[in-house]
Amino acid sequence: MRAKIAEIFKSIQGEGLYQGVPQVFVRFFGCNLKCSFCDTKLEYYQEKTLQEVTDEILSYKDYHSVSLTGGEPLLQIKFLGELVRFLKKEGKKIYLETNGILYENLGRIIEYLDIIAVDFKLPSSTNTGSFWYEHKAFLKIAEKKEVFVKVVIGIDTQAKDIFKAIEIIKAVNGGIQFILQQQNPYESLLEDKAKSFHDICAKSGINTKIMRQLHKELGIK
């Protein structure tokens, strides 16, 4: 069995609740979406066996967790399933970064995951249409583990999408943390908008943070 792997490397997590934490990143090639703000333009990959991937992961030392990212890692679910089983046997903490759409595939590996970072794709931010049904179904499975939701705030992001995201979070588990991330490199233009969205979340009783992309500010991968 082989997977399309764009890269494997060690760095710090630049986004979300584990910002600044050292991780080994396994970046899977391919995505089921084409978000307008996507900053991960994957143009190449290598087909790697499970042994090749695990050997490379185990070659790194002193990190918090293994981040399975992309692209969208859940697209390659058969390989991913074998990988998370191996990592769990090795005692590794497993962190999944996902667009929160492929909920059936998540259900196949949820028992092996530790932390799930779910990107809600706001229609006004992505220009890809809405995935509210999929996000809600996904979150219902993901909340069995540690999970947080992140959204990208861009120039065109509308408050109605923030209200809808809040509605879904509260329907599943109102304690799930909600991260508002200003689109890089327009953070300075989006400060007021992000603050207004933060106020909406706070009034709704949602635990919310405004965060930037740390790895971009530090100029690292």
pLDDT(203) > 70: yes
In residues, how long is the chain?
221
Per the CB < 8 A criterion, the answer to whether 62 and 104 are in contact is: no
**Nearest residue to 112 (alpha-carbon basis) of 130, 131, 99, 93:** 93
Give me the CATH number covering residue 60.
Answer: 3.20.20.70
CA distances to 100, 187, 221 from 135, in Å: 6, 26, 28
Q: Which has more pLDDT, 181 or 188?
A: 181
Average confidence (pLDDT) over 3-26: 96
**Residue 128 CA to chain centroid, in angstroms?**
17
**pLDDT tens, position by position, 20-46:** 999 999 999 998 777 766 767 678 899
Query: Domain residues for 73?
Result: 2-218
pTM metric for this prediction = 0.94
What share of the chain has pLDDT > 70, as a percent?
97
Structural domains counted in the chain: 1
> What does the DSSP 8-state code read for residue 76?
G
Per the CB < 8 A criterion, the answer to whether 63 and 73 are in contact is: no
**pLDDT tens, position by position, 74-132:** 999 999 999 999 999 999 999 999 999 999 999 999 999 999 999 999 999 888 889 99
Per the CB < 8 A criterion, the answer to whether 195 and 159 are in contact is: no
Terminal C-alpha separation, the chain: 28
Per the CB < 8 A criterion, the answer to whether 139 and 149 are in contact is: yes
